[in-house]
Structure formats: C-alpha cells, structure tokens
Amino acid sequence: MAYVDITADTFNDTVKQDGIVILDFWAPWCGPCKSFGPVFEAASEQHADVVFGKINTEEEQELAGHFGIRSIPTLIALRDGIMVFNQAGAMMAPQFEQLIQAVKGLDMDQVRAEIAEHEAGSAS
C-alpha cells in the first residue's frame, strides 16, 4: 500500500512537505468512492515521487469541514504546500493520470507569482 491514511494528527506533517500531495476525501458508504479507490491505489503504486493520502470524512469531520467538503469523493492536489487542484467526483484512471502529470508539470515559480499578484490586487 503506497498511500497513507491521514488524520488530523498527521495532516500538517503530510501536506507541509515539498513536492506533490494528492488527497482523496472519501467515506466507507460512498459508492463512487469505492469505485475510485482502486484507481487511486494503483496510481499511488506507480508514482513513488507523489504522496497519496486518503482522508475518511466520517472519522475526520474536522478536516472535511476545514476544506468545505460537500460531496465525495473530492480530490485535492497540493504542490509545495500550495493547493493547485480541488474537485469533487471520481475519475477514471486516464483522467487521474492526466491530473498527476499536469501537477508535475506546473511551473511553481509562475504559480507563486500569480498568487502574489492576486493577493496584491486584493489588498488595494
């Protein structure tokens, strides 16, 4: 198993690290979550350079609330501690692979510059 189960106690240590972290917010009773689970697990086996974390929304309601999770599964991707993707809904394996490659291909200097520009514009 190449993914980690994330709890409120382990969340900060997991997402604050450099690199890519992909979070799967799910619940045991959720049908789409069950069908996406094997896709997520297979990707976690193929991409050792990415941290894959599963967050059980039933057990970690505070984390789900913090992210405003309203439907599951919800995928959130972070790179270098910056959220770069947030979307509800299960993905097929090719879509998920495309997402992973897109996050890997991001120019983080450009992302940081865009965030700084947006924050500067909001401040005025």
Active site residue ranges: 30, 33
Three-state SS for 105-124 is CCCHHHHHHHHHHHHHHHHC
Q: Tally DSSP H helices, then E strands, for the chain.
A: 5, 5
Cα 39–Cα 45–Cα 42 angle in degrees, nearest 5: 15
Q: How many CB atoms lie within 10 A of CB 41?
A: 16
Distance CA 72, CA 87 (A): 9
